[in-house]
A and B are shown apart, each in its own frame.
Chain A
Amino acid sequence: MTLTKDEVTTESASATEVFIAPGQVGSIVEVKPRYENFIGGAWVPPTRGRYMANVSPVNGRPFCEVAESTPEDIELALDAAHRAKDAWGETSLTERAAVLNRIADTIEANLEMLAVTETWENGKPVRETLAADIPLAVDHFRYFAGATRSLEGRSTEIDKDTVAYHFHEPLGVVGQIIPFNFPLLMAAWKIAPALAAGNCTVVKPASPTPWSILKLAEVIGDLVPPGVLNIVTGPGGEIGKALASSPRIAKIGFTGETTTGRLIMQYAAQNIIPSTVELGGKSPNVFFPDVMDEDDEFLDKAIEGLVLYAFNKGEVCTCPSRALIHESIYDRFMERCLGRIRRIRQGNPLDPATMIGPQVSTQQIEKIVSYVDIGRQEGAECLIGGRRAHLGGDLEAGYYFEPTVLKGHNDMRVFQEEIFGPVLAVTTFTDEADALAIANDTLYGLGAGVWTRNGNLAYRMGRAIKAGRVWTNCYHLYPAGAAFGGYKISGVGRENHQMMLEHYSQTKNLLVSYSTKPLGFF
């Protein structure tokens, strides 16, 4: 998800003006006072008529209301999805792929509008939403449009007259719970394969970010038949549970924390349905001494690779939040990295020059403050940052935290827990075995990074680190087609790859005999 140099250049050339805040005169984003649920292709008010304020983290102020739904609304969405499932499941691959491509084209045509929407609700810098979140969402729909066309069922000749045919059949209606850190991209990761495989979905966006997906529905809602895509907003404890525990879903997909992940799996067990859960990480980013053999473009890339912990203000499941640096280069390398961190521009995320915006909510910023406090109590040394940033003016009440680096050892809680903020825990290692031991000394196993000019070493480390993805001489790239998911308590299942179509399908086996001879048993 990183900006490539080309994209940065293009971006800064085309968008240097600060975008006007959604809802303000001249903004490219319209804001209605109130949003309803998107059910059965229509905007449906919540059954009990309750709404909740939706706050922008940029200035800490509410800017619209969304439905505060209850389990009755989940039932309405499930009704609509069940009405739609047979027809959608029988829709030809040609047509399903065409629908996904039309969704992609429409998102692309609304790229700036959706990028500004996402930035306003989540706080992530618009340079990221313009160059990563929204273009990747577009590509994801295109990828699954193609993937579903190329997925073939298999047949096996059991013997001369007996053939086993295997067909992919849709599961029917699925439930999908989206996290707040990439509200639109994670929605695309889940919705695209589900729809491509012929399923209808009921989506619950995260409580802090319910709005951007409703803006998405405004532009793509009429591209799918009514009931194929349904969106219900509201509190997780009420409607998240109602959705995940419903006997009317055939699969549940969830991204979030470990306790809710366990609850989701518990509900799935009770209904005997599959679940995909992605539950976070504490990803090591390992820098071997040869990165400093030359002062060249590669070293520059490695330095940026460390600083990527601040990408999306650290609210990334795969945030490279543990930097492991070889002791022989630690001082020189960190000096360069700290120099780069000092130049991070923090501010209004609607400014294309801003590199880090506000955390998504008060909860998140309080948690970050509390972790930095624990780190200090445990004896970690704060190399930079460590405080809430007060930016004054209209941004004073926003949730900004300074990019922070804590030096310590891997037993500290700041090395063991996902802080979900721009806080890097850094330590040193002595040799390859030590690096590997520290890298794997974590409960999690979602992502990792390895930086070296030595291909053999990179391969050995990449294979030995127990994580679902090891970025090698890169980080934070999320192309469609590269499987993403966790080892250990980081979760079960994969996303972002054609194999998802299998995860969203049943396997139908037709075992056919072309022989006329009886078995002879009776």
Chain B
Amino acid sequence: MSEPLTEPVTVPRVVASPAALEAISRLVAQRGPVMFFQSGGCCDGSLPMCFDDGEFIVGDHDVLLGTVGGWPFYMDGRQFEVWRHTQLMLDVGEGAPEGFSLPAGANRHFVVTSRVFGPDELAALDEDPRGRRRGTSERSR
């Protein structure tokens, strides 16, 4: 995981804004490789967390959604089941991060906004428009 990934994807599940890409390249220049993990739950849950690559141990049931600026973006596999019909846009917001995430520059933090995939994209990704696939998520519920 120390090298940027170069996986071709037709309909990306995660994309990054120019501001996010700029913040990522600055971080990488300062600290070296990074990784992203989409959080959930209390407080600053729902925010993407940026770590030095390898800081967070990715589990067997986590999902690699794609790459941002060449760096991996992961999500808990159970959480993915309820997010899979939406595309994430990594962006930068005002204010320092509230959790353990690296900042996106001075007094800035990473955020995601979401967009529900259009019918063509859902077809290309083989996704149901109502979100999670019935039957695939029962193990965790």
Contacts and interface: CB of A to CB of B under 8 A. Distances in A.
Interface of A: 52, 179-181, 206-208, 235-237, 240-241, 255-263, 266, 278-281, 317, 361-364, 366-367, 370-371, 373-374, 377-378, 409, 411-413, 416-420, 440-444, 488-490
18 contacts: A181-B42, A237-B102, A240-B100, A257-B41, A263-B100, A280-B43, A317-B42, A362-B93, A367-B46, A367-B111, A371-B46, A374-B114, A377-B114, A378-B116, A413-B86, A413-B114, A420-B42, A489-B76
B100 A370 contact: no
A489 B41 contact: yes
B63 to A, nearest CB: 14
Contacts of B55: 263
Given A258-B41, A411-B131, A419-B46, 6 more contacts: A237-B97, A256-B99, A257-B41, A259-B38, A361-B95, A413-B83
Contacts, number: 164
A256 B44 contact: yes
Given A237-B97, A367-B111, A258 B116 contact: no
- What 5 pairs across the A-B complex have the smallest Cβ distances? A280-B42, A280-B41, A257-B45, A259-B39, A416-B82
Given A259-B39, A261-B41, A263-B56, A207 B98 contact: yes
A418 B41 contact: yes
A490 B78 CA distance: 13
B82 A444 contact: no
B9 interface: no
Given A374-B114, A411-B132, A443 B140 contact: yes
Nearest to B134: A411
A363 B102 CA distance: 15
Given A206-B98, A377-B116, A259 B37 contact: yes
A241 B56 CA distance: 12
Contact of A180 (B38, B57, B86, B98): B98
Contacts of B37: 259
A362 B41 contact: no
B102 A257 contact: no
A278 to B, nearest CB: 7
A412 B129 CA distance: 10
B96 A260 contact: no
B40 interface: yes
B99 A257 contact: yes
Contacts of B95: 361-363
Contacts of A266: 56-57
B93 A366 contact: yes
A462 B118 CA distance: 40
A444 B41 contact: yes
B44 A363 contact: yes
Interface string B106-124: 0001011111100000000
A258 B39 CA distance: 6
A468 to B, nearest CB: 13
Nearest to B52: A237
B79 interface: yes
A413 B98 contact: no
Contact of B49 (A52, A259, A364, A440): A259
A411 B130 contact: yes
Nearest to A441: B141
A236 B97 CA distance: 8
A490 B131 CA distance: 22
A366 B112 CA distance: 10
B66 interface: no
Most-contacted residue by chain B among A420, A442, A443, A489 (CB, 10 A): A443
Contacts of A281: 41-42
Contacts of B69: none
A418 B98 CA distance: 16
A420 B43 CA distance: 7
B92 to A, nearest CB: 11
Contacts of A374: 86, 114, 116
A364 B79 CA distance: 20
Contacts of B39: 257-260
A418 B102 contact: no
Interface in B69-84: 76, 78-79, 82-83
B100 A260 contact: yes
Contacts of B94: 362
